[in-house]
Amino acid sequence: MSFNTVYPTFHCPFCKQIVDSGVGFRVGALARRAYKIGDTLSWNAEDGPLRPEQRPSGGNIRTVGYFNCDNPKCTSWQDCFPAVQMALVTIAKDKIETVEAYDPPAQVDQFAIIEMD
């Protein structure tokens, strides 16, 4: 399954260390691309399949991403408890704006798109 990865200054909610391995997410052109906060998301269909199939007109998306904490001392390292591995990726006007730990209000689909416009 193809996805993109954003490498943010993101602190694991369990051990508070920076998660160096980044957060995987599936919107825009799915091209296994590495992004940083502030980068512009590619919607170029030549780069890879688009998700959703069309860019939302405002370029705004909030979507669920996933991460694995790299810190071997972290409890999530062994438990892989899904709640701590979820992140919320916010894209505003095509720019990757924030990546935050996410504790969903209800069960969400993997890589769910929470909202877009």
Interface residues with Zn ion (CB under 5 A)?
12, 14-15, 69, 71, 74
Supply the minimum distance, in Å, between the C-beta of residue 11 and Zn ion.
8
User: Is the Cβ of residue 10 or residue 14 nearer to Zn ion in the bound state?
Assistant: 14
Supply the minimum distance, in Å, between the C-beta of residue 77 and Zn ion.
7
User: Is the Cβ of residue 54 or residue 78 nearer to Zn ion in the bound state?
Assistant: 78
The DSSP bridge partners found for residue 12 are none
User: Is the Cβ of residue 15 or residue 101 nearer to Zn ion in the bound state?
Assistant: 15
User: Is the Cβ of residue 21 or residue 40 nearer to Zn ion in the bound state?
Assistant: 21
For the beta carbon of residue 35, count every other beta carbon within 10 angstroms: 23
Distance of CA 24 to the CA centre of its chain: 5
Supply the minimum distance, in Å, between the C-beta of residue 109 and Zn ion.
24
Spatial CA neighbour of 90 closest among 102, 81, 105: 102
Supply the minimum distance, in Å, between the C-beta of residue 84 and Zn ion.
7
- Site of tokens 């939302």: 56
- For 47-82, b where at least 16 C-beta lie within 10 A, e where not — what string? ebebbeeebbeebbbbbbbbbebebeebebeeeeee
